[in-house]
Amino acid sequence: MKPQDGELGPREREILEGFSQMWSKLQALMAAEERVILHDVTPTEVHCIVMIDRLDSPNVTALAKALHMTLGGVSKLTRRLLRMKAIERYQREGNRKEVFFRLTPKGEEIKRQHEELHRRRLERDFAVYQAMTKAEKESLLTFVRRYNEHLDRELEKLGKKS
């Protein structure tokens, strides 16, 4: 049976369901690992810490863009990180209006532990990638790039593109 316009066929539904299941399992695994090792922080809090470290000017606006979150969501997130003393606020000389964030020693430790977890995950999952043929990897990369571009366009429509 041929799907009508806009309808997913059985293989497309299987792909979508497979990605959904894989993402749910990966998120659950990451959340469990990061809660046990990283001072009881959520994956979102960890990713915010990583972005604060990576960005040149980590303020609420830059973080919202990098994390694909609303300004309000980032404000709540940074307040939690400030309360747990993982980050601190600062202002640049000559610019008393803008507030930026930087990591505290606790934030640096969380980031270090996250990087170690990331390294262990790569080692854990290496066998899966090692077993793939070059053609399988190329096909998967083509799909991932195409789907990411599609998601970027959808985010742009919503005005939430980074």
pLDDT score at 56: 94
Is 56 in the same domain as 87?
A: yes
The count of domains in the chain is: 2
User: How high is the pLDDT of residue 33?
Assistant: 75
Supply the range of the domain harboring residue 55: 24-129
For residues 65 and 74, what is the distance between their CA atoms, to the nearest angstrom?
10
In a domain, 33, yes or no: yes
Same structural domain for residues 125 and 141? Answer: no
pLDDT < 50 regions, the chain? 161-162
Q: Kindly write down the DSSP assignment for every residue of 82-108, as one continuous string.
A: HHTTSEEEEEETTEEEEEEEEE-HHHH
79 within domain boundaries: yes
Q: Cα angle vertex 95, ends 89, 100, to 5°?
A: 25
Residue 16 forms part of a structural domain: no
First to last CA, the chain: 40
- Report pLDDT for 161: 46
Whether residue 138 sits in one domain with residue 117: no
**CB burial class (10 A; 0-12, 13-18, 19+) of residue 45?**
buried
Amino acid, res. 96: R
Same domain, residue pair 87 and 114: yes
126: number of Cβ within 10 Å: 10
